[in-house]
Amino acid sequence: MEDKPDRVFAGHMSAGFRGDCLRRIRDLEKAGRLADALAEFERLLAAEAPVFSAALLLEYGRLLWLDRQSTRALAVWEQLVLDPSAASYAGKALYNLAKAQAESGQSSRAAALYERLLALEPETREALFNLANLRQKTGAPEAALPLYRRLLALEPGRVEAWINCARACKSCGDYERAEFCLGRALALAPTAVTAHWNLAHVCLSQGRFAEGWAEYEWRLRRPEAFIPAGVEKIAPWRGENLRGRRLLLWSEQGAGDAIQFVRFAAKLSGPPACVALLCQDNLRRLLQSAPGIDLVLPFSSLPEGFDFQLSLLSLPWRLGLHTQAELSARPYLAAGPPVAKGGPAGVGKFPFHQFDDSRIKVGLVWSGNPFHVNDARRSIAFSELAPLGRIAGMCFFSLQKAVKRESLPQAQREIQPLIDLAPWMNDFAATAWVLQQLDLLLSVDTAVAHLAGALGVPAWILLPCEADWRWGLKGRRSYWYDSVRLFRQPKPGDWRSVIAALGEALASFVKADFLRG
């Protein structure tokens, strides 16, 4: 919130009762005794009633907010905004109100308050920065850009503003300006990890792999980077000859990343004495089929006896793979049978008979991991898919592990038949077997989509307007997977156009199948 306590108190310290109270309040807050600090503050306010200093009220609201008494804090700041005699503090009160509303998830209210503040004080830098970030976060990058420009004109040395402006440019499809902004950020702070991370995405999205892979290595310096326990004790592989050596590869991000990048293990030369892979438990059975992988281990194991280690996602950089042809691969994973035909306890036998249906069998995945940073944009409400159920000649299967937004029964009312296979998909090997029984997968950008591509199963992937770097900027085909077709949003949030295009393609798919039969 606005104003540091010491700055506020310094202006009001005086001999006598008020000065003593303010000193006690400051000391109590520093000691973490907020309840006692507030009690002392209320004692001071009661003594000064009915006339209160606006600066003291501003500070009182801040302490209330810190003590999680949000309703009372908001009331104090609103009182200051409405009080003509406190006009000089209205900007600070508006800032505190806006920031509090943003922290409470009230984005539209926060934006309106920031706009009121900027109408009063157009050069309030934190308000410009926070409102720009809010516009970007709520899917309005075009509204964020002029705010970032105003801020950077006032404060050209603000690295984070250049980085966030680059993100907004990228979201608007202006990759040239995005790269310019990141260049400015890196000129000011050459080791700014977030700037390098964003530059990697800009380069890789455009197919500039030599630059992109080098910048992508900065991901491992991010605070949230995952490095398995014990791996840091093994020497990193920097391209040394692997003949007779033992190499430990490891998965660091999601299951889809591991499925996509495990293809590069087959390109290791030497040959190595052993290539082992540390990965998630639900991937172990599947990735045992990956060419070039000799052994698959759980993260819980303590790796010993290895000469080198490397993240799967660093393989294309270390191998010097800089062209689409070098990155592409024919189907490289194989599926075994489900873990057990009886299925998990309580769900009954696997419904093999459903695959005897003569209609085209279509799998559906409409949402991904809800904790993914881009999930709100990449996932789709099932109701958007409902028009596909009106196309004759198809039988739909749900491969959705975690049903999101709508319950499965509701989804099954909107598309019939919709057969739920999730209870039997207890790892990715079982999911692979299910995919190979289908004629087609329709999926948002999830691990299941990558798995279909790695298996060579036809998959149509629904992409948001600002798709992940691996899908490029345009086109219906992916150099990563021959069997994948891409359906892109023409503008942010426009799933309706994607579903309309899917409907036309599905109708043609059904017709072609009929003519073949």
Mean pLDDT over residues 70-75, rounded?
82
Q: Is the pLDDT of residue 85 over 90?
A: no
- 283 φψ region: left (φ > 0), alpha (ψ -120 to 50), beta (else): alpha
Q: What is the pLDDT of residue 317?
A: 97
DSSP labels, 92-140: HHHHHHHHHHHHTT-HHHHHHHHHHHHHH-TT-HHHHHHHHHHHHHTT-
DSSP, collapsed to helix, strand or coil, labels residue 172 as coil
Helix orientation angle between 125-137 and 159-171, rounded to the nearest 10 degrees: 30
List, for residues 120-179, the tens digit of each pLDDT value.
899 999 999 999 999 999 989 999 999 999 999 999 999 999 999 999 999 999 999 999
175 contacts 141 by C-beta, under 8 angstroms: no
The ranges assigned to domains in the chain are 5-220, 235-319, 352-516
Please provide the distance, in angstroms rounded to a whole number, between the alpha carbons at the two ends of the chain. Answer: 69
Per-residue confidence (pLDDT) for residue 6, from 0 to 100: 47
- pLDDT score of 13: 43
Q: How confident is the model at residue 338 (pLDDT cuts 50, 70, 90)?
A: low
For residue 348, pLDDT beyond 70: no
Q: According to the model, what pLDDT value does residue 214 have?
A: 97
Name the more confident of 365 and 350: 365
H/E/C letters for each residue in 237-299? CCCCCCECCEEEEECCCCHHHHHHHHHHHHHCCCCECEEEEEECHHHHHHHCCCCCCCEEEEC
Dump pLDDT digits (tens) for 358-399.
Answer: 789 999 999 877 666 677 788 898 888 889 988 888 889 999
For the segment 34-70, what is each residue's pLDDT rounded down to a tens digit?
898 888 888 888 877 655 677 787 888 888 878 788 8
Q: In this structure, are residues 204 and 470 in contact, taking their beta carbons and an 8 Å threshold? A: yes
Angle, in degrees to the nearest 10, between helices 54-66 and 17-30: 20
pLDDT level of residue 8 (50, 70, 90 thresholds): very low
Q: How confident is the model at residue 12 (pLDDT cuts 50, 70, 90)?
A: very low
Burial of 346 (0-12, 13-18, 19+ CB in 10 A): exposed
Alpha-carbon distance 152 to 168, whole Å? Answer: 14
Check residue 367 and give its pLDDT.
Answer: 86
Q: What is the pLDDT of residue 485?
A: 97
Contact 146, 140 (CB under 8 A): no
Upper half-sphere CA count for residue 345 (Cβ side, 13 Å): 0
Give residue 10's pLDDT: 45
**CATH, domain range 352-516:** 3.40.50.2000
d(CA 6, CA 283): 54
Contact 407, 414 (CB under 8 A): no
Cα distance between residue 253 and residue 287, in whole Å: 15
In the predicted structure, residue 15 carries a pLDDT above the cut 50: no
Q: Which CATH architecture has domain 235-319?
A: 3-Layer(aba) Sandwich (3.40)
Query: What DSSP letter does each residue of 322-359 carry, written as one string?
Result: -SHHHH--S--------S-TT-STTS-S--GGGGG-SS
DSSP for residue 477 = B
pLDDT of residue 345 exceeding 60, the answer is: no
What pTM was computed for the model? 0.85
Question: For residue 394, what are the β-bridge partners?
Answer: 360
22 versus 481: which is more confidently predicted? 481
- Which pLDDT band holds residue 444 (cuts at 50, 70, 90)? very high
Cα distance between residue 304 and residue 82, in whole Å: 68
- The single-letter code of the amino acid at 254 is G
Q: Is the pLDDT of residue 516 over 70?
A: no
Per-residue pLDDT, averaged over 446-466, amounts to 96
Express as a percent the part of the chain with pLDDT over 70: 89
State the average pLDDT for the chain.
Answer: 87
CA dist 321 and 23 (Å) reads 64
CATH of 5-220, one of 3.40.190.10, 1.25.40.10, 2.70.170.10, 3.20.20.70: 1.25.40.10
Our CA dihedral for 352, 355, 361, 365, rounded to 10 degrees, sits at 0
Q: Among 1-5, 28-32, 72-76, 305-309, whose mean pLDDT is lowest? A: 1-5
- Residue 228 above 50 pLDDT? yes
pLDDT of residue 104: 85
Q: How confident is the model at residue 21 (pLDDT cuts 50, 70, 90)?
A: confident
Establish whether domains 5-220 and 352-516 are of one fold. Answer: no
pLDDT of residue 9: 46
**Residue ranges in 138-158 assigned as alpha helix (H):** 141-154
- Amino acid 192 reads A
- Of the two residues 453 and 510, the one the predictor is more confident about is 453
Instruction: Place 406 in a pLDDT band, splitting at 50, 70 and 90.
Output: low
Sheet holding 459-463, edge to edge: 418-420, 394-398, 360-365, 440-444, 459-463, 484-488
